[in-house]
C-alpha cells in the first residue's frame, strides 16, 4: 500500500518529503463535510475545545470532567442508587403515607435522610446534564458515525429510561409537583393507542388508591433500574476497559460538590397533592420535566411528535451521512505469536484470542472482528513484530496490520522523512491526524510522519529514528486523556515509560525524546514546543562537541 503525502502551502517545494502522512485512500475519506459539519459540528467543536482548554488549566487533563462524561454519568447513577436505597428504607406507600414518609426523612432526619434525598435529587440532575453534554460533545467531535454507530444508537435507550425514572420519582413524592406531573403524563398517555384514553380521569378526583403507589414504587425502584442497567451494558458492549467512576479524584470532588449543594440548598417538597385543586405555583425541574409545560400551548399529539421526532433524529444521526471506516486490521499468522497484547490494547474489543488454526508451534492466535474494528492501528503499535530492525524477505511485515496504512508504508515514510532532514540538528516528529497537525511545522531540520493515531507508533520506531540520523524525536497526539480512539496516547506514553509492552529499550537516551499532547487548534503550541526541543537538542550537541574537543 502507498502512503499519501500532504502538501504544506507554506513550503510547497520541500513538503513532499518533509511531512509524510499515512492516510486511507480518498474513497474512504473520514471527513464528514456538508451542512451538518459546517454549521453544527464545527461551531460546537470550537466551543468544546476552547472550554476544555480552560478546564485543563483549572483541573489538569487527568481531572478534566469533559474527558470523563460517560464515566461521570455512571458515577452519578451509583450515587442515585445508594441514596435511593437509603430513602426506600423509610419510604411508605399510600396516598397519605407517601408524602409523610418523605417529609419525615427530609425534616426529622435532615442530617442523614434529608441529605440522602438531596443527593438523590441532585445526582439525578447531574446525570442528565453530563449525558446531554456527552451526546453534544461526541456529535461535535464526530465520534458517533462509522464503527461508533452502535454505541450512539444504543445510547438513546438509557437516556429516555433515565428521564422516565426521574419522572416516576417525582410521582412518588406525591406533592403538588407530583400531581402536576401525574396529570400531564396521563394526558400524554391517553392519546396513545390501546390505553383506553381514560387515564387522565383518575387524577381529576379521589380515584387514586394505595395500589397505585405500590405499582409506581416497583416501577421506579425495581423494574426501571434493572432495565436501565441492562441498556447501559448494551451501550458499552463494544468498548473495552470501561470505567464506572472515572478518576478517583474526580469522583470524590464531584461527590463533595453534590454534598455541599445538598447542605446549602436541601431538596424539599411542595404542598401535598390535592386532586380537587389545580396547582398554581410550581418549581419545575427542567432537566426532567421540560416537555410538560408545552402541554399548556400544544396538544398532546404535538408534544409526542416533538419527542418522537427528536428521538428518531438522534437515533439515525450516524447515517446522516454515513462515515466510512477503512478496512479492518488483518492478522498475519506467519508473524503472530498469540501474545495477546493487541487484545489488551484494543479500545473497541475488536480483537480476541483463540486456539491456533495453522498448526504452528505457538498456542494461540489473534482474531479480528471486522465489524468492531476502528482501523486505528493501535494494535499495530502493540505488536512485538512491528519492529523496524526486523526485516523479513523484502518488506517489513508484522503480526497484525492495517491494510490502508501497513507497517511497511510506515517504514518507508519514516525513512523518507529521515532523508529529508538536513542541518546540524535534526528532529523527527511523530504526529496524529486527529490531534494538532504536525505539518504546520515549517523549519529546516524538522520532518514529520503523521499516523491515523499515535497509538499506532511502535516503540521500536523511536529507537530506529534515533539510530538512523535523528538527533531527537518529538511525539505528538490528541490531548492527554482525550484520545480520538480512547487509549492511543496513553498506551504510547506507557510504552515509552516501560510500563507497557512492547516498551522502549532501556539504553535509549530519554533526553532525546519529547512528547506534546495537543488538540487540532493548538498548532502554535506545537510549533513552540518543537522550537524549544530543537534548541535544547542543539545546545546539548554543541556542549558534547565542545567537550570532545
Listing DSSP states for 53-66 in one string gives: HHHHHHH-GGG-GG
Spatial distance between the Cα atoms of 238 and 347, rounded to a whole number of angstroms? 9
Q: Which three cell numbers stand for residue 76?
A: 452519578
Contact 79, 255 (CB under 8 A): yes
171 exposure class (CB count in 10 Å sphere: 0-12, 13-18, 19+): buried
From residue 503, how far is each of 402, 428, 459 by CA, in Å? 21, 19, 6
* Dihedral sign computed on CA atoms, order 240, 245, 249, 253: positive
At residue 95, the pLDDT reads 80
Q: Are 406 and 427 in contact (CB under 8 A)?
A: no
CATH superfamily for domain 31-319: Cytochrome Bc1 Complex; Chain C (1.20.810.10)
Q: Cell numbers of 476, please?
A: 505528538
Q: Which residues partner with 450 through β-bridges?
A: 21, 431
| Predicted TM-score (pTM) of this structure | 0.90
pLDDT one-digit tens code per residue, 292-338 = 999 999 999 999 999 999 999 999 999 988 888 889 999 999 999 99
Bond into 524 cis (ω within 30): no
Cell readout for 328 is 479492518
- pLDDT for res 7: 34
Assign residue 300 a region: left if phi > 0, alpha if psi is -120 to 50, beta otherwise?
alpha
C-alpha cell read off for 87: 430513602
Q: One digit per residue, pLDDT tens: the chain, 549 residues? A: 333 333 333 333 344 467 898 865 333 344 445 778 888 999 999 999 999 999 999 999 999 999 999 999 999 999 999 999 999 999 988 888 899 999 999 999 999 999 999 999 999 999 999 999 999 999 999 999 999 999 999 999 999 999 999 999 998 999 999 989 988 988 898 888 876 566 555 555 556 777 788 888 888 999 999 999 999 999 999 999 998 888 999 999 999 999 999 999 999 999 998 877 777 778 889 999 999 999 999 999 999 999 999 999 999 999 988 888 889 999 999 999 999 999 999 999 999 999 999 888 899 999 999 999 999 999 999 999 999 987 655 688 899 999 999 999 999 999 999 999 988 999 999 999 999 999 889 888 999 999 999 999 999 999 999 999 999 999 999 999 999 999 999 999 999 999 999 999 988 999 999 999 999 899 999 999 999 999 999 999 887 766 655
User: In this structure, are residues 489 and 477 in contact, taking their beta carbons and an 8 Å threshold?
Assistant: yes
Q: Collapse the DSSP code of 431 into the 3-class scheme (helix H, G, I; strand E, B; otherwise coil) and give the result.
A: strand
Q: Exposure pattern of 92-119 as b/e (b: 16+ CB <10 Å)? A: ebbbeebbebbebbbeeeeeebbbbbbb
* Chain-centre distance for alpha carbon 339: 28
Mean pLDDT of the chain: 88
Phi, psi (rounded to 5 degrees) for 372:
-105, -15
| Helices marked H in 90-114 | 95-103
* pLDDT in the model for residue 294: 95
Among residues 445, 391, 448, 438, the alpha carbon closest in space to that of 416 is found at 448
Separation of alpha carbons 188 and 424, rounded Å: 75
Say if CB 236 and CB 242 are below 8 A apart: yes
Helix, strand, coil percent values for the chain (each to nearest 5): 55, 10, 35
Annotated domain spans of the chain: 15-27+376-548, 31-319
Residues 287, 74: Cα–Cα separation, whole Å: 17
CA 443 to chain centre: 35
pLDDT (0 to 100) of residue 541 = 85
Amino acid at each position: 500500500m502507498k502512503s499519501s503525502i500532504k502538501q504544506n502551502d507554506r513550503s510547497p517545494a520541500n513538503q513532499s518529503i518533509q511531512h509524510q502522512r499515512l492516510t486511507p485512500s480518498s474513497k474512504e475519506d473520514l471527513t464528514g463535510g456538508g451542512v451538518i459539519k459546517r454549521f453544527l459540528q464545527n461551531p460546537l467543536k470550537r466551543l468544546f475545545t476552547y472550554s476544555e482548554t480552560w478546564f485543563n488549566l483549572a483541573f489538569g487533563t487527568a481531572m478534566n470532567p469533559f474527558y470523563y462524561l460517560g464515566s461521570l454519568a455512571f458515577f452519578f447513577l451509583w450515587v442515585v442508587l445508594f441514596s435511593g436505597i437509603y430513602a426506600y428504607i423509610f419510604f411508605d406507600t399510600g396516598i397519605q403515607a407517601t408524602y409523610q414518609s418523605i417529609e419525615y426523612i427530609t425534616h426529622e432526619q435532615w442530617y442523614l435522610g434529608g441529605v440522602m434525598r438531596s443527593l438523590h435529587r441532585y445526582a439525578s440532575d447531574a446525570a442528565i446534564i453530563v449525558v446531554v453534554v456527552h451526546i453534544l460533545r461526541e456529535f461535535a467531535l464526530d465520534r458517533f458515525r462509522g464503527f461508533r454507530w452502535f454505541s450512539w444508537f444504543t445510547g438513546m435507550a438509557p437516556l429516555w429510561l433515565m428521564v422516565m425514572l426521574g419522572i416516576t420519582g417525582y410521582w412518588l413524592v406525591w406533592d403538588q409537583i407530583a400531581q402536576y406531573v401525574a396529570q400531564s403524563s396521563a394526558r400524554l398517555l391517553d392519546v396513545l393507542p390501546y390505553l383506553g384514553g381514560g387515564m387522565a380521569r383518575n387524577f381529576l378526583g379521589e380515584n387514586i388508591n394505595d395500589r397505585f403507589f405500590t405499582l409506581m414504587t416497583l416501577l421506579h425502584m425495581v423494574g426501571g433500574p434493572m432495565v436501565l442497567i441492562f441498556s447501559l451494558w448494551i451501550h458499552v458492549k463494544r468498548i473495552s476497559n470501561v470505567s464506572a467512576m472515572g478518576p478517583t479524584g474526580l469522583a470524590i470532588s464531584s461527590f463533595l460538590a453534590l454534598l455541599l449543594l445538598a447542605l446549602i440548598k436541601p431538596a424539599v417538597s411542595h404542598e401535598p397533592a390535592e386532586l380537587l385543586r389545580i396547582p398554581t405555583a410550581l418549581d419545575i425541574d427542567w432537566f426532567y420535566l421540560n416537555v410538560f409545560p408545552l402541554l399548556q400551548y400544544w396538544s398532546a399529539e404535538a408534544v409526542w411528535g416533538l419527542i418522537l421526532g427528536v428521538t428518531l433524529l438522534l437515533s439515525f444521526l450516524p447515517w446522516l451521512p454515513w462515515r466510512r471506516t477503512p478496512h479492518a486490521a488483518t492478522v498475519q499468522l506467519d508473524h503472530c505469536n498469540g501474545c495477546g497484547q493487541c487484545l489488551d490494547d484494543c479500545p473497541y474489543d475488536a480483537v480476541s484470542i483463540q486456539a491456533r488454526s495453522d498448526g504452528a508451534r505457538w498456542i494461540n492466535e489473534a482474531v479480528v472482528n471486522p465489524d468492531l474494528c476502528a482501523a486505528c492501528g493501535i494494535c499495530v503499535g502493540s505488536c512485538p513484530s512491528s519492529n523496524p530492525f526486523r526485516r523479513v524477505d523484502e518488506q517489513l511485515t508484522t503480526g497484525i496490520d492495517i491494510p490502508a496504512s501497513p507497517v511497511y508504508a510506515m517504514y518507508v515514510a519514516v525513512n523518507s522523512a529521515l532523508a529529508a532532514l538536513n542541518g546540524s540538528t535534526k528532529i523527527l516528529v511523530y504526529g496524529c491526524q486527529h490531534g494538532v497537525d504536525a505539518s504546520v511545522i515549517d523549519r529546516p531540520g524538522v520532518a514529520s510522519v503523521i499516523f491515523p493515531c499515535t497509538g499506532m507508533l511502535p516503540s521500536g520506531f523511536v529507537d530506529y529514528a534515533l539510530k538512523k540520523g535523528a538527533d531527537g524525536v518529538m511525539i505528538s497526539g490528541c490531548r492527554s486523556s482525550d484520545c480520538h480512539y480512547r487509549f492511543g496516547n496513553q498506551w504510547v506514553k506507557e510504552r515509552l515509560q516501560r510500563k507497557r509492552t512492547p516498551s522502549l529499550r532501556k539504553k535509549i537516551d530519554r533526553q532525546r525524546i519529547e512528547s506534546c499532547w495537543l488538540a487540532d487548534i493548538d498548532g502554535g503550541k506545537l510549533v513552540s514546543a518543537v522550537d524549544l526541543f530543537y534548541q535544547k537538542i542543539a545546545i546539548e550537541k554543541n556542549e558534547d562537541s565542545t567537550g570532545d574537543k
